[in-house]
């Protein structure tokens, strides 16, 4: 079979698929939504829908609408994708190594914050503090800056041993079992990894 024949067959496949879907719709024993809502034969179908809708109270209606919207949103997200998620995902992938030590929700927040801050042009230590500020609201910014300073040096100079020393000093246990100080140190350490990953993903130089 020559190339032109292959091209012709490839071009006809979408049309054949469309015809197949149309035929299946016509032969479907269940009545679908009428193509001409103003036609007399559509009146019974639309009346039955209106009766079902009137039978729902306000709470059931709201729940049905909310459930339908969630399904539609999920389908749209799957088909179209979210450009912001595509930006954050590579950063989040770098944080998967901490998923046994840090709740996944916090990892997502750190990934999002780091992605935004990596383009801010602020000093590294300020980026680190701001990255964890909403996760550690009980901490003063100056105290966080003291803990963040060695990690900022690590980001600037590429000294990975500082990161390793920080991780070794924090027990590899459940997040809720850590003290406030250990949680702060671990969060800042993960934030430094996130900022480094965001920088490597094409953000402006930190």
Could you tell me the residue ranges of all domains in the chain? 84-200
pLDDT tens digits along 50-68:
777 666 665 566 666 666 6
**pLDDT of 204 over the 50 cut:** no
CB 119 within 8 A of CB 203: yes
**pLDDT of 39 over the 90 cut:** no
pTM comes to 0.56
pLDDT tens digits along 10-21:
445 656 767 776
CB 96 within 8 A of CB 181: no
pLDDT tens digits along 116-128:
888 888 888 999 9
């Amino acid at each position: 079979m020559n190339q032109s024949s292959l091209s012709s067959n490839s071009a006809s496949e979408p049309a054949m698929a469309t015809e197949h879907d149309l035929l299946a719709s016509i032969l479907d024993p269940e009545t679908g939504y009428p193509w001409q809502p103003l036609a007399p034969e559509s009146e019974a179908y639309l009346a039955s829908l209106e009766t079902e809708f009137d039978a729902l109270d306000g709470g059931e209606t709201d729940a049905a609408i909310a459930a339908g919207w969630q399904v539609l949103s999920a389908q749209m997200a799957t088909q179209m994708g979210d450009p912001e998620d595509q930006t954050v995902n590579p950063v989040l992938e770098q944080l998967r190594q901490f998923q046994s030590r840090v709740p996944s929700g916090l990892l997502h927040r750190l990934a999002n914050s780091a992605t935004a801050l990596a383009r801010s042009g602020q000093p590294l230590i300020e980026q680190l503090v701001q990255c964890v500020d909403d996760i550690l609201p009980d901490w003063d910014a100056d105290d966080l800056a003291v803990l963040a300073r060695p990690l900022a040096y690590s980001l600037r100079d590429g000294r990975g041993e500082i990161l390793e020393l920080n991780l070794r000093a924090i027990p590899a246990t459940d997040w809720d079992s850590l003290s406030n100080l250990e949680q702060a140190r671990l969060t800042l350490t993960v934030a430094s990894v996130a900022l480094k990953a965001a920088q490597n993903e094409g953000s402006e130089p930190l």
